[in-house]
Amino acid sequence: MDLFLQYLANGVVVGSSYVLVAVGLTLIFGILHVVNFAHGEFYMLGGYAGITASTAFGLPLPASLAVVAAVSCLLGLGAEALLHRGLKNQDQTSSIIASFGLAVALQNAVMVTMGPQPELMHTELAYKAIELGPVFLPAPRALIPPAMLIIVGALFAALRWTWTGRSLRAMAQHETVARLCGVKVRRVAVITFMLGATLAGVAGFMMSAVYMVHPLVGNMIVLKAFIVVIIGGMGSPLGAAAAGLLLGVIESMTSAYLTNGLRDVVGFLLVIAVLLFRPQGLFGRSLERS
C-alpha cells in the first residue's frame, strides 16, 4: 500500500503538468477552432525561460515565474497572429500545417541559441523534501499539484464570473452572435492564445526542475496534451483537467506494475478506446458548459 501511494503521488505530479498544457490547448481549440501542434514548444520555451532566469541571472522563483509568463504571453501573441489572424479565412488545414512549421522553427531556433544538450533548473528547493505519511516527494515535485489547482481554479473562476471569461465562452458557443452582442472578437482571440501559451509555459517552468529540458521535449508533450484533450472531450477544460490527472496516474501505475516501456503506449490505447466507445470524450466538448 505504501508503494501504491507513492506511485499515485508521482502520477498526480506528472498529471498536473498534463492538465496545464492540455487546458491551454483545449481553450485554443474550443474557442478559436485552431489545432495548434506548436503548443508543446510553448512548454519547452517556458522551461528554457525559467532556467535562464533562475540559473543564468540568479532571479528568485517568483521573479522567474513572472519572466516565464511574460515570454509565454509574447509567444501567444505571435502565434495568434500567425495561426489565427493570418489564416482565419483559409481552410483549417492551413493552420495545422502552419503550426507544424512554427514548431519546427522554434525547435531549431532553440537548438541554435541554447544548444542540443538537456538542461535542468537548479534551485534551493531541490535540496528540500516533503513527507506525507509513506509518500516522499522532493519539494519541486510536491509544489506542482497545488500550483496547478490554484492556476486552474483561478482560470475556471475567471471563465465563470468575469466579463472576459463570459466573452471567451460566448466565442466558443457562436462567434457571430458573440460579435453582435459586443464581444471584441480580436481581443478574445489574442487573450485565448496568450492564456494557452502561459499555461503551457508555466507547466514547462515547473517541470524543468523535475525533468531535463531540451529542444525536442515539446514533441512528446504535445502528443500527451492531445491525448488528454481527446479523452476529456474536445473543447472541455474540465474534461482536460480530469483526463490529465487520469493519464498521469495510469502512466505511473503502468511503469510501476507492468513495464516502463508501456508508459507512453497506454495513452494511445486509451485514445483508441475512447474514440471507439465514446467519441465525444468523457466530458463532451462544450466550453460553455464546463
* 249 part of a folded domain: yes
pLDDT at 281 over 50: yes
Write out the three cell numbers for 57: 541571472
User: What is the tally of structural domains in the chain?
Assistant: 1
Sorting pLDDT into bands at 50, 70 and 90, what band is 282? Answer: confident
Domain that holds residue 222: 2-119+129-289
* 140 part of a folded domain: yes
Most confident of 87-91, 125-129, 220-224: 220-224
Half-sphere exposure of 210 (CA within 13 A, CB side): 19
Q: What is the CATH classification number for the domain harbouring 20?
A: 1.10.3470
> In the chain, what percentage of residues exceed pLDDT 90?
61
In tens, the pLDDT along 197-213 reads 999 999 999 999 999 99
* 54 part of a folded domain: yes
* 284 part of a folded domain: yes
Alpha carbon distance 247, 218 (integer Å): 17
* 59 part of a folded domain: yes
* 134 part of a folded domain: yes
Query: What does the H/E/C string look like for 47-116?
Result: HHHHHHHHHHCCCCHHHHHHHHHHHHHHHHHHHHHHHHHCCCCCCHHHHHHHHHHHHHHHHHHHHHHHCC
- DSSP lists the bridge partners of residue 137 as 130
**pLDDT value at residue 86:** 80
* 203 part of a folded domain: yes
* 124 part of a folded domain: no
Alpha carbon distance 97, 37 (integer Å): 9
- DSSP lists the bridge partners of residue 119 as 213
Question: pTM for the whole thing?
Answer: 0.92
Alpha carbon distance 191, 76 (integer Å): 8
